[in-house]
Amino acid sequence: MSVGVGRTALLVAAARAIETHRPDALARDPLAGHFVRAAPVSAGWPVHPDQVPDGAADPLWGRLGRYFGLRTRVLDDHLLRSIRAGARQVVLMGAGLDTRAFRLDWPADCTVHEIDTEQVLAFKHEVLEHTGARPTAARRTIPADLRGDWTGALIRAGFDPTAPTAWLAEGLLLYLPADAERRLVARVHALSAPGSTLAYELKEVVAESAAVRSAPVYLAARQRLGIDLPALFAAGRRPDSAAELTTRGWTVTVRSPYEFTTLHGRGPLPEPNDVLAANRWVFAARTLPTPLPGGLAPGA
CB within 8 A of 250, min separation 6: which ones? Answer: 189, 198, 284, 285, 286, 287
What would the mean pLDDT of 276-296 be, rounded to a whole number? 76
Q: Is the pLDDT of residue 297 over 50?
A: no
Q: What is the pLDDT of residues 194-221, one digit of tens each?
A: 999 999 999 987 678 999 999 999 999 9
Q: Does residue 182 contact residue 136 with C-beta atoms inside 8 Å?
A: no
Amino acid letter for position 252: V
8-state DSSP, 108: T
Residue 269 has pLDDT above 60, yes or no: yes
Quick check: 266 and 28 in contact, CB under 8 A? no
Q: How confident is the model at residue 288 (pLDDT cuts 50, 70, 90)?
A: low
* Banded model confidence at residue 1, pLDDT cuts 50, 70, 90: very low
- Is pLDDT above 80 for 101? yes
Mean pLDDT of the region 226-246: 91
User: How confident is the prediction for the chain on average, in pLDDT?
Assistant: 92
* Distance in angstroms (rounded) separating the CA atoms of residues 300 and 233: 45
Neighbours of 152 (CB within 10 A): 10
Q: Cα separation of 262 and 229, whole Å?
A: 26
Residue 298 has pLDDT above 70, yes or no: no
Largest CA distance in the chain: 65
Q: What does pTM read for this prediction?
A: 0.93
> What tens digit of pLDDT does each residue of 131-173 get?
999 999 999 999 999 999 999 999 999 999 999 999 999 999 9
> Over 60: is that where the pLDDT of 291 sits?
no
Q: Which domains does the chain have, with CATH numbers?
A: 7-288 (3.40.50.150)
Alpha-carbon distances of 54 from 22, 59, 191, 207, 253, rounded to whole Å: 14, 9, 46, 30, 36
E strand segments, 83-178: 89-93, 111-116, 138-143, 165-169
Would you call 286 helix, strand, or coil by DSSP? strand
Between 207 and 270, the more confident residue is 270
Confidence of residue 192 (pLDDT cuts 50, 70, 90): very high
Q: Please, what's the b/e burial string for 265-293 (b: 16 or more CB within 10 A of its CB; e: otherwise)?
A: ebbbeeeebbbbbebebbbbbbeeeeeee
Name the amino acid, one letter, at 130: H
**Where is pLDDT greater, at 75 or 6?**
75
Residue 157 half-sphere exposure, CB side, CA atoms within 13 Å? 21
d(CA 215, CA 203): 16
Asked if the model's pLDDT at residue 4 lies above 90, the reply is no
Q: What is the pLDDT of residue 6?
A: 87
Q: Is the pLDDT of residue 5 over 60?
A: no
Counting Cα atoms < 13 Å in the Cβ hemisphere of 46 gives: 20
pLDDT, tens only, 26-47 = 999 999 999 999 999 999 999 9
236 burial via Cβ count (<10 Å: 0-12, 13-18, 19+):
exposed
Question: pLDDT value at position 207?
Answer: 75
User: Which value, to the nearest 10 degrees, does the dihedral of the CA atoms of residues 221, 225, 229, 231 take?
Assistant: 120
